[in-house]
Chains A and B, each alone.
Chain A
Amino acid sequence: MSVDRRKVAVFGAAFVLRLLLIGLFPSLPDLLTGRVEVSTPVNSFKRLQEGLFLYTRNVSPYDGGVFHQAPLLLPLFALLPDVRSSPLPTAIFYFLVDLVNAHALSTISESGQSIQGKLHSAVRKHIRWDGVSVAAWFLFNPFTIATCLARSTSVFTTSGILFAVSNAVGGNNVNAMLALGFASYLSLYPALLFIPLILLCYDQRTQNPLPNVAVFVAQQGAILLASVSGLLGLSYLITGNFWEFMSATYGFHLLVPDLTPNVGLWWYFFIEMFDSFREFFLGVFWLHLASYVGGMTVRLRRQPLFIITSLLGVFAIFKPYPSISDASLFFALLPLYRHLFPLMRYTFVAISVLLYSTLLGPAFYHLWIYAGSGNANFFYAITLVWSLGLSILLADSIFAALRDEWEQAHPEAQGVEVKQV
């Protein structure tokens, strides 16, 4: 009972904190909506408003260069009252989505999947945070709060991914695939999580004998395809022009025509890229992003949830339009691996680099865009540092996971100095 009371307290405090922030600083949501670190062309709330405006006036929002988000968001937001006259209902809707995400996260944590899987059992089981602490870590992360207040639509993708994982660890693979379908429908890249999620679902199967792997994958793939095509069918009913919205949403994700600055590595690279090599490097970048799926799936097969966590870290660094909401999702799943923290070697460096770039990023952006005393290289350099910091953290956590696996196999070698050969 006491755990429930703690959970209520954490969730209530997170809700009140958000409410207080918009109550004390009414201009904060609009300010955050305009920040390039939070809002990218594919999740900006302002662009959603523009699309909604055109949609409610029967103009196709996809026949233009502004709106690139999934069509089903339009009728959803058309139900909410106008943001300009009454911002509170929309804000509260976003707060609730955040709380629901936190609940999914605490479910994942309480399943203990990160510590004790079917093929793996962590050595330091006693070092762990319970579900409420993990949820609190997510809810009080400034990145999460900023994303929530900026009303970025990537919180729905976050929900899709977290629900897919929480259903998968609960053994409910149909719901997991449906949720993954929803997330993929919203922003395409979660489709890359299909293979690790299949592994996670497969490891939860307890019936004897185990289902055939090929049949199982085909079944789950069919569910995912059915959910995506169902959503696309609904979108077609809404927009009436299939290829127009497909090219304006997924084509936009794939071809990266909008080079608005963000925290990722793509924008400045493709601004400065020579025209004849643009397509080639687009292919290389996407291939690079997808290459991690295969490598991690093979090497970390025994810890499917850790594959998902690491892949979310990879996406936060290397996806075409990353924002701090992607980083916040990675940071949300990382505390599930609290038992790996003692094994990590560069936590201080990684955290310092991330803090450094978090503080200097907005400052350098201001110098470039507003003060005119710096140029684009200032902000570009900070995005490089940010990506470097995240990749140090990611690589370090993968190292810790591998060392944990090794210690499990060699219980006598706990705590000795190790080396990789």
Chain B
Amino acid sequence: MTVLSLLTLPLLALALTLWSSPVLASDYHEQLFLQPLPQSSLLASFNFRGNTSQQSFEHQHFRYFPRALGQIIQHAHTRELHLRFTTGRWDAQSWGPRPWNGGKEGGTGVELWAWIDAPGDEEAFSKWVSLTQSLSGLFCASLNFVDSTRTTRPVVSFEPAGDHTAASQLHFLHGTLPGEVVCTENLTPFLKLLPCKGKAGISTLFDGHKLFDASWQSMSVDVRPVCPRKETNMIPRPVRNEDLVCDTSKPYNSEETCYPLEKTTETAWSLNEIFGRTINGVCPLAGSDGASEPTVCLRTPHERGVLAAEGAIETKKGDGFTRCYNLAPSQPFDLLIPEQPVHTQVPLDEPILHAERTIVGHGQERGGMRIIFGNPSNASAVDFIYFETLPWFLRPYIHTLRATITGRDGMRREVAASEIIKETFYRPAIDRERGTQLELALSVPAASTVTLTYDFEKAILRYTEYPPDANRGFNVAPAVIRILDPAQRAPLYLRSTSLLLPLPTPDFSMPYNVIILTSTVIALAFGTIFNIMVRRVVSLDEAAALGAQTLKGRLLGKVVALRDRFKGKGTKVE
């Protein structure tokens, strides 16, 4: 098989964790997790985790924690920071639920949210501005465009992931840049934050050409303070037997057996083929605290033959699917998975919720938003919070919010919006000041699809407010969905794709013409009306008499007299 038919889906996740206890020493871990997905796709998840004690963080004594980021965070009084760079679309229908429950990804473009310690709203906002400006420089991204119109303060959609002292006055701010194009220039600063800088360890696989060919790609930076407690294992838990997806259509299906869906052979691939290079040993700084976590993990059935480079120690996990490798120091490492028939498949979970958001309607004057939530579960309803920010030039009419429910039978019925929507938090936009913020607490009943629609109007802007490519349209930030599942300890996040909103455009080439033409019409009206009002009405005879007295009249009279004299002479001669 070729590389072309194998889509790489790398997921990059950097989790930098601050420890507030002075007892614990600093440490650093990194891990690559690989999982082949249906349709010849591969999920590659790179995880880097650095810890530093609160004390050394406060004294700016950085070892594994990147100094550049640490100083920005301290300067902006940021207590917790989450930054996401995402491109592409995760196809939940074929790839199953999102990696890390959507917790390590953002909406298309750049998404940033932070908890800032400040005495008041205005101070928090000024610190937020300094944070975005600094991060913009650090990550070579246009984060400085996150201004007041793109900043919101969601109430229920986000929760701090770290442990915060009750004394601090935390302000939560959230900003998105849906139009930002994520590319290599954002990856390089990211690499520089890592202790081994891409020279050793799993980060040696980062080749901008290969990574950004992926169908979906997300890069995340999380900084949070944590109190010392037992660290949760970053490796995903295996799927329980009762959760396995079996082919129940077979007549010989029974409860004891689980028949996977048929597929003859699985394609061959290797790390070198996908990333264009091999892993250059382990990062010597990783696992320096003695705990040796395996560096590379692969989630594929145990029966599948996998050839690893020499020197690596393979450990198979008891779940029957996961195997991990401890790499030998300073030796190149590669994985080779030959083509072979497979009989078992790694089961994929059914996503808890499908969500899709589109703009409907035609024309540049108004449109409608349609949000579709699908609950695939047959048993339980899904409760979640839907959060969206809209730019101010998209004016939603919330009174037109309607909900329809479609059951499995395909029957659509309109329901009162209050039946689905438990709570609403709505903050309308103010022109040129702030965007719309809409948070809805929704509940989708089992085995049904809920469609929410509302109308909106597109504002027309001043011509200087349009970007140079005005007819491309304006980006609308993706909606964030937070699923409230009591069974899950960590919150589950889902994001819709970003939208492109075409606005009516004026003619950019003729400001002078418009000023001149409008002024002409006004001058015509003003001139005519005032001309009529200031002049006297006279009959034509009077006008002639009056005309003779003016300078022009007298001059004309002289000319006529002169002409008569010439004519008179002519007749004499004859």
Contact = CB atoms under 8 A, between A and B. Distances in A.
B543 interface: yes
Contact of A260 (B460, B518, B531): B460
A403 B535 CA distance: 11
Interface string A296-326: 1001100000000000000001100000000
Contacts of B291: none
B462 A66 contact: no
A274 B511 contact: yes
Contacts of A416: 539-541
B518 A388 contact: no
A273 B515 contact: yes
Contact of B363 (A54, A370, A377, A392): A370
B514 to A, nearest CB: 4
Interface string A249-272: 000000001111100010111111
A421 B461 contact: no
A327 B506 CA distance: 26
A59 to B, nearest CB: 7
B522 A318 contact: yes
Given A66-B428, A368-B504, A387-B525, A403 B537 contact: yes
Range class of the A interface residue count: 35 or more
Most chain A beta-carbon neighbours within 10 Å: one of B364, B538, B540? B538
Contact of A421 (B460, B462, B536, B541): B536
Interface string A279-292: 00000000010011
A268 B539 contact: no
Interface in B393-429: 395, 397-399, 426-429
A395 B510 contact: no
B506 A395 contact: no
A66 B532 CA distance: 41
A186 interface: no
Contacts of A272: 463, 506, 510-511, 514-515
A374 to B, nearest CB: 10
Contacts of A64: 427-430
Dominant secondary structure at the A interface: helix
Most chain B beta-carbon neighbours within 10 Å: one of A65, A260, A267, A406? A65
A369 B503 CA distance: 9
A150 B362 CA distance: 22
B397 A46 contact: yes
A65 B537 contact: no
Contacts of B573: none
A54 B504 contact: no
Contact of A65 (B395, B504, B505, B518): B395
Contacts of B524: 388, 391
Contacts of A59: 426, 428
Contacts of A317: 525
A257 B463 CA distance: 13
B431 interface: yes
A228 to B, nearest CB: 26
Contacts of A271: 460-463, 506, 514
Contacts of A410: 539
A417 interface: yes
Contact of B505 (A260, A275, A376): A376
B539 A394 contact: no
Contacts of B528: 391-392, 395
A34 B510 CA distance: 28
B525 A394 contact: yes
Interface string B418-447: 000000001111111000000000000000
Contact of A273 (B462, B507, B533): B462
B464 A292 contact: no
A269 B511 CA distance: 8
Dominant secondary structure at the B interface: mixed
B392 interface: yes
B506 A376 contact: yes
A398 B526 CA distance: 12
A268 B461 CA distance: 10
B426 to A, nearest CB: 7
Interface in B343-395: 362-366, 392, 395
A64 B430 CA distance: 5
A268 B399 contact: no
Contacts of A274: 464, 511
Nearest to A366: B363
A241 interface: no
Contacts of A270: 462
B507 A375 contact: yes
Contacts of B534: 299
Most chain B beta-carbon neighbours within 10 Å: one of A272, A291, A402, A406? A272
A417 B540 contact: yes
Contacts of B540: 416-419
Nearest to B366: A34
Contacts of B537: 402-403, 405-406, 418-420
Contacts of A421: 535-536, 538, 543, 546-547
B521 interface: yes
B529 A395 contact: yes
Contacts of A388: 521, 524-525
Nearest to A310: B529
A10 interface: no
Interface string A50-89: 1011100001000111100000000000000000000000
Nearest to A391: B525
A202 interface: no
A63 B539 contact: no
A191 interface: no
Given A66-B395, A416-B539, A421-B543, A275 B514 contact: no
Given A50-B397, A299-B533, A384-B517, A419 B538 contact: yes
A398 to B, nearest CB: 5
A302 to B, nearest CB: 13
Contact of A380 (B395, B432, B514): B514
B530 interface: yes
Interface string A23-66: 00000000000101000000000100110111000010001111
**Closest 8 A-B residue pairs measured CB to CB?**
A64-B428, A53-B399, A391-B525, A420-B535, A406-B537, A272-B511, A272-B514, A395-B528
9 contacts: A34-B366, A50-B398, A65-B395, A260-B459, A265-B522, A272-B506, A288-B522, A370-B365, A402-B532
Given A387-B525, A416-B540, 11 more contacts: A53-B398, A64-B427, A65-B431, A259-B459, A268-B506, A274-B511, A295-B530, A376-B507, A395-B529, A418-B539, A420-B538
Interface of A: 34, 36, 46, 49-50, 52-54, 59, 63-66, 257-261, 265, 267-275, 288, 291-292, 295-296, 299-300, 317-318, 368-370, 375-377, 380, 384, 387-388, 391-392, 394-395, 398-399, 402-403, 405-406, 410, 413, 416-421
